């Protein structure tokens, strides 16, 4: 015979059924529960692992056009060009024509769509210069504006995730009531199991497919305006650097899953009102018609290594949104810190002595 | 012969007993006086010190330090600053008793201007009485300011600190009245803070503000923010709630005692035109 054991949601001790109250009762803390409530509570606590979402890829890969020895032919001057495996477009060293290398190896993807550059190089430099202006902690090398040479137009490979999602989540919530008598203040805390389910449609959630690009950078320049999305056209790549993705869609799924789960939790949590505390207990999601597209989005990128650390600064090549991290000159940091401290100490001491030292 | 010797010894014994009885009476009377001591104003003649410590709260060294402080006040401003401690001043109004004491001139100088702190241990009474021009310097505001500081230390049993604080504050009040005007509600007394403390606070405050400013600058160098959600990619109007249930589980009740306010303040004070007194 199988024994069924339920644990008390309050103290974790074993519950027994009280025939008198027709409820499950905890001998340890004295709480009584409706059997259905305990079943729901137990079910909400069972699944610790958040299920993965299921996706389908948009289309199969196309074969690359290249010579037998792995070189590419310039369509303008027919010269043989050597490029590394990740290159999608490059400039011909003989005729200066931009050569687009469509797909590089079998089993890889050609982009499904892209957004062409709308912010030109001079705008990008101006924005960058404006951002650096007045930054007192920048290293000295920034004063001569030579850093602007490092700014490059770059089509960043992105994976775009689309799905119709069903989310089902449980929250442990509390509500409090306070009252007093002549001797004591009382606080009654009521605990609830709140369950919410919902449907929502996600369109083109982007996850970058480049190892070189840090997630913090690519996510910070979001959003891109999808009104300008066009089918992939190699002509748009002319004059810009482009790399094939080196983070595959399967790897990018993890980040997409995190963002979708967090969004669903936030949307459902917003419907949980009237409680003082709301703590997620279980999160489950299922994606219908999940699709992944491969896209190229325009980014002006500035990179440098300072004090053995890599710094990345990016401008959204479509909207002009600027984000990034600039290096901090440690000498300047300490100079300003102690300079202000010394100045402040003198100023506050004089004011303090005048006001509290018995001078005035 | 033996009988004569016995009579002689008996006579000597009787004489000794009578002598002991006669000598013993005033000795016993003195003891009983000390036990239920009530200070007789006539007992205070013109004295040698500004400190009259009948309750024996101070040692010699402390008395000497206090004497020098009071002497300095008298030498500088010609005002008596005095401290009197007794076991029992005899009941009634301690300020009246102090007034009478001033009239007996028990201090080294017979000035008509002075301030006296008196402490009576039996009922834990204290009083600050002033005479002459000192009434202007130590007005009601001033006496209450000094009294507030003194009574706190008296309540803690720090008698020497209380008397030293009284002497120092009296000196400060006299100096202010001499240089500008007496402290009053319009010209309030502010306890001066040591310079080293002001500089230390200024340093810490400056360091905190500087760290804040420089770190705001540093933070401005990095505008990257990881997007943990994808809310902007949610199709408008696509969100629909399909399930909603709120199940009550249990409740807990906690209680905390309400602290009772203690209205039995033992250090309240009241003032007359020339004095301020209270219990400590």
B259 to chain A, closest Cα gap in Å:
8
**Above 80 in pLDDT, residue B46?**
no
Classify residue A213 by burial, with Cβ atoms within 10 Å: 0-12, 13-18, 19+: buried
Instruction: Identify the three-state secondary structure at position B259.
Output: coil
Say yes or no: A164 and A30 in one domain. Answer: no
More confident residue, B71 or A239: B71
Say yes or no: A164 and A203 in one domain. Answer: yes
Q: Do A165 and A184 meet the contact criterion of CB atoms below 8 Å apart? A: no
Say yes or no: A251 and A118 in one domain. Answer: yes
Classify residue A64 by burial, with Cβ atoms within 10 Å: 0-12, 13-18, 19+: middle
Residue A354 located in a structural domain: no
More confident residue, A191 or B263: A191
Q: How far apart are CA A222 and CA A316, in angstroms?
A: 8
Walk along chain A (360 residues) and give the pLDDT tens digit of each residue.
Answer: 556 788 888 888 888 888 888 888 888 888 888 888 888 888 777 656 777 777 766 543 333 356 777 777 776 677 777 777 666 666 667 766 656 665 443 345 578 889 999 998 888 888 888 888 888 888 877 766 666 777 889 899 999 999 999 999 999 999 999 999 989 999 999 999 999 999 999 999 999 998 888 888 889 998 999 988 988 888 888 888 888 888 888 889 889 999 999 999 999 999 999 999 999 998 988 888 888 889 999 999 888 778 788 888 899 999 999 888 888 899 999 999 999 999 999 999 999 988 887 665
User: What's the pLDDT at B146?
Assistant: 93
Say yes or no: A27 and A109 in one domain. Answer: no
Residue A70 located in a structural domain: no
Number of domains in chain A: 2
Closest B-chain CA to A138: B221
**Domains of chain B, CATH where assigned:** 41-191+274-279 (3.10.310.50)
| Main-chain phi, psi angles of A182, to 5 degrees | -70, -20
Chain A environment of B211 (Cβ under 8 Å): 337
Q: Which of A23, A200, A302, A311 to mutate to test the interface with B (most CBs of B within 10 A)?
A: A200
Nearest to B231 among A266, A341, A346 (CB): A266
Say yes or no: A235 and A305 in one domain. Answer: yes
Say yes or no: A230 and A261 in one domain. Answer: yes
**Above 60 in pLDDT, residue B30?**
no
User: What's the pLDDT at A60?
Assistant: 38
Q: Which of A159, A345, A353, A359 to mutate to test the interface with B (most CBs of B within 10 A)?
A: A345
| Main-chain phi, psi angles of A243, to 5 degrees | -120, 145
Residue A173 located in a structural domain: yes
B202 to chain A, closest Cα gap in Å:
5
Say yes or no: A160 and A238 in one domain. Answer: yes
Say yes or no: A172 and A284 in one domain. Answer: yes
Residue A32 located in a structural domain: yes
Output the pTM of the full model.
Answer: 0.61
Q: How far apart are CA A61 and CA A104, in angstroms?
A: 10
Q: Which of B195, B227, B244, B261 to mutate to test the interface with A (most CBs of A within 10 A)?
A: B227
Tell me, what's the ipTM?
0.72
- A256's enclosing H/E stretch is helix A249-269
Q: Do A327 and A306 meet the contact criterion of CB atoms below 8 Å apart? A: yes
At residue B163 the predicted structure's pLDDT band, cuts being 50, 70 and 90, is very high
A240 to chain B, closest Cα gap in Å:
24
Residue A77 located in a structural domain: no
Q: Do B142 and B181 meet the contact criterion of CB atoms below 8 Å apart? A: no
At residue B83 the predicted structure's pLDDT band, cuts being 50, 70 and 90, is very high
Which of these, B49, B43, B42, lies nearest to B80 by C-alpha position?
Answer: B49
More confident residue, B269 or B51: B51
Say yes or no: A16 and A58 in one domain. Answer: no
- Give the CA distances from residue A21 to residues A12, A17, A29, A31, A153, in Å, rounded to whole numbers and listed in that order: 20, 8, 16, 12, 73
Domain interval for residue A292: 50-64+102-335
**Above 50 in pLDDT, residue B275?**
yes
Say yes or no: A137 and A236 in one domain. Answer: yes
Residue A85 located in a structural domain: no
Say yes or no: A177 and A321 in one domain. Answer: yes
Nearest to A202 among B190, B214, B233 (CB): B233
**Above 60 in pLDDT, residue B9?**
no
Mean pLDDT of chain B: 82
Contact B233 A204 (CB under 8 A): yes
Chain A environment of B217 (Cβ under 8 Å): 135-137, 336
Q: How many CA atoms lie within 13 A of B149 on its CB side?
A: 20
User: What's the pLDDT at B29?
Assistant: 35
Say yes or no: A167 and A113 in one domain. Answer: yes
B253 to chain A, closest Cα gap in Å:
4
C-alpha torsion sign, points A168, A170, A171, A177: positive
Q: How far apart are CA B194 and CA B223, in angstroms?
A: 45
Contact A137 B252 (CB under 8 A): no
């Amino acid at each position: 015979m199988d024994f069924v054991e339920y644990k008390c949601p309050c103290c974790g001790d074993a519950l027994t059924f009280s025939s008198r109250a027709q409820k499950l009762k905890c001998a340890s803390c004295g709480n009584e529960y409706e059997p259905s409530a305990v079943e729901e509570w137990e079910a909400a606590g069972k699944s610790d692992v958040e299920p993965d979402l299921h996706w389908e890829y948009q289309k199969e890969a196309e074969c690359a056009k290249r010579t037998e020895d792995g070189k590419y032919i310039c369509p303008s001057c027919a010269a043989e060009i050597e490029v590394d495996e990740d290159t999608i477009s490059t400039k011909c060293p003989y005729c200066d024509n931009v050569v687009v290398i469509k797909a590089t190896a079998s089993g890889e993807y050609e982009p499904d769509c892209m957004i062409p550059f709308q912010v030109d190089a001079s705008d990008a430099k101006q924005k960058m210069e404006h951002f650096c202006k007045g930054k007192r902690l920048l290293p000295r090398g920034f004063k001569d504006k030579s850093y602007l040479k490092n700014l490059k137009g770059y089509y960043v490979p992105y994976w775009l995730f689309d799905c119709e999602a069903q989310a089902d989540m449980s929250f442990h919530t509390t509500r409090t009531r306070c009252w007093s008598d002549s001797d004591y203040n009382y606080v009654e805390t009521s605990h609830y199991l709140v369950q919410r389910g919902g449907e929502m449609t996600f369109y083109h959630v982007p996850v970058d497919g480049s190892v070189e690009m840090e997630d913090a950078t690519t996510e910070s320049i979001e959003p891109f305006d999808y009104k300008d999305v066009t089918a992939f056209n190699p002509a748009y790549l002319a004059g810009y650097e482009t790399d094939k993705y080196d983070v595959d869609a399967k790897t990018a799924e993890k980040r997409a899953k995190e963002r979708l789960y967090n969004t669903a939790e936030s949307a459902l949590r917003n419907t949980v009102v009237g409680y003082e505390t709301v703590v997620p207990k279980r999160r489950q999601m299922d994606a219908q018609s999940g699709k992944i597209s491969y896209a190229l989005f325009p980014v002006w990128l500035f990179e440098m290594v300072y004090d053995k650390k890599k710094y990345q600064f990016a401008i959204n090549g479509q909207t002009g949104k600027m984000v990034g991290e600039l290096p901090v000159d440690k000498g300047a940091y300490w100079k300003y810190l102690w300079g202000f401290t010394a100045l402040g100490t003198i100023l506050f001491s004089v004011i303090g002595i005048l006001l509290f030292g018995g001078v005035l | 012969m033996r009988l004569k010797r016995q009579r002689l010894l008996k006579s000597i014994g009787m004489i000794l007993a009578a002598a002991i009885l006669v000598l013993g009476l005033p000795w016993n009377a003195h003891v009983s006086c000390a036990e239920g001591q009530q200070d007789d104003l006539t007992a205070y003649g013109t004295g040698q010190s500004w400190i009259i410590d009948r309750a024996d709260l101070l040692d010699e060294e402390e008395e000497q330090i206090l004497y020098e402080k009071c002497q300095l006040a008298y030498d500088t401003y010609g005002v008596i600053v005095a401290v009197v401690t007794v076991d029992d001043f005899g009941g009634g109004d301690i300020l009246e008793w102090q007034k009478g004491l001033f009239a007996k001139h028990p201090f080294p100088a017979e000035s008509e201007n002075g301030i006296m702190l008196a402490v009576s241990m039996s009922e834990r009474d204290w009083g600050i009485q002033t005479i002459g021009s000192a009434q202007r310097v130590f007005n009601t505001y001033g006496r209450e300011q000094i009294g507030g500081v003194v009574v706190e230390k008296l309540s803690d049993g720090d008698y020497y600190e209380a008397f030293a604080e009284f002497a120092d504050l009296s000196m400060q009040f006299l100096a202010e009245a001499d240089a500008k005007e007496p402290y009053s509600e319009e010209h309030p007394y502010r306890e001066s803070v040591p310079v080293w403390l002001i500089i230390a606070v200024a340093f810490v405050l400056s360091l905190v503000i500087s760290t804040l400013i420089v770190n705001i600058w540093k933070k401005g160098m990095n505008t990257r923010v990881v997007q943990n959600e994808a809310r902007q990619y949610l199709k408008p109007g696509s969100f629909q709630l399909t399930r909603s249930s709120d199940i009550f589980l249990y409740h807990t009740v906690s209680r905390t005692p309400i602290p009772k306010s203690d209205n039995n303040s033992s250090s309240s004070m009241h003032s007359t035109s020339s004095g301020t007194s209270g219990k400590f």
